[in-house]
Structure 1
């Protein structure tokens, strides 16, 4: 008698287990559940893609800064800057031989004057 009870209860347990598995699978195959599952997978994939894009952007920024420093060193842009002002430039004076010489300190203008301003429209 004990053997029959054991196999009967084993069969009942197997039937309950199989029925539960089948019902879960049928529930997963309903259109509403499939849509929710697809949306969740898309959100997860988007999150992973965003994380990879951020990592890629940070890596590109680091490499860009490193390369910029290398180029700055190669071109001498990172050398210390001398803060002193350069010496004043000496300007070459060209003498206009057609005009009278300029005498410093004289109040009389030696440059030609015109009766009107040519830059204004009259």
Structure 2
């Protein structure tokens, strides 16, 4: 008698546990819950993306400030007003591919002119 009661109680408990698990899963798979889960995942992804973009922007700004300081030092922009920067260096060889060094000849485009 005791064995039957034990197994009956065990079966009832297992049935209640399984029914609760199945109902919980069914509630998670309703269209409303699936839509809410998708919206939550999208919000989380958006927040992560925003944080990464903010970190990237801060890194870029720090790099820009560092480069501006380097250029200011190189150009003497931070020097006192009474002290002028040194003379500029010029290239030893002219760059022939640069348009300002290419000699241009002018041609008359008048068709009526004798050649």
TM-score computed with the length of structure 1 as normaliser: 0.60
C-alpha RMSD of the superposition: 1.8
> How far, CA to CA, are the matches of 1:68 and 1:32 in structure 2?
53
Q: How does 1:13-32 map to 2 (within 5 A)?
A: 13-32=13-32
> How far, CA to CA, are the matches of 1:55 and 1:36 in structure 2?
29
- The structure having more radius of gyration, on CA atoms, is 1
> How far, CA to CA, are the matches of 2:68 and 2:3 in structure 1?
82
Q: Following TM superposition, by how much is the alpha carbon of 1:80 offset from its aligned partner in structure 2, in angstroms?
A: 2.3
> How far, CA to CA, are the matches of 2:7 and 2:77 in structure 1?
87
TM-score computed with the length of structure 2 as normaliser: 0.63
Runs of 5+ unmatched residues, structure 2 = 84-115
Higher RCO (C-alpha 8 Å, min separation 6): 1
- What corresponds to 1:69 in structure 2? 69
- The secondary structure found in structure 2 opposite 1:81 is coil
Q: How does 1:1-122 map to 2 (within 5 A)?
A: 1-82=1-82
More helix by share: 2
Runs of 5+ unmatched residues, structure 1 = 84-122
> How far, CA to CA, are the matches of 2:25 and 2:19 in structure 1?
10
Figure out how many residues of one structure are paired with residues of the other and give that number. 83
User: Deviation string for 1:55-84 (max 9, x for gaps)?
Assistant: 11111101110111111112221222239x
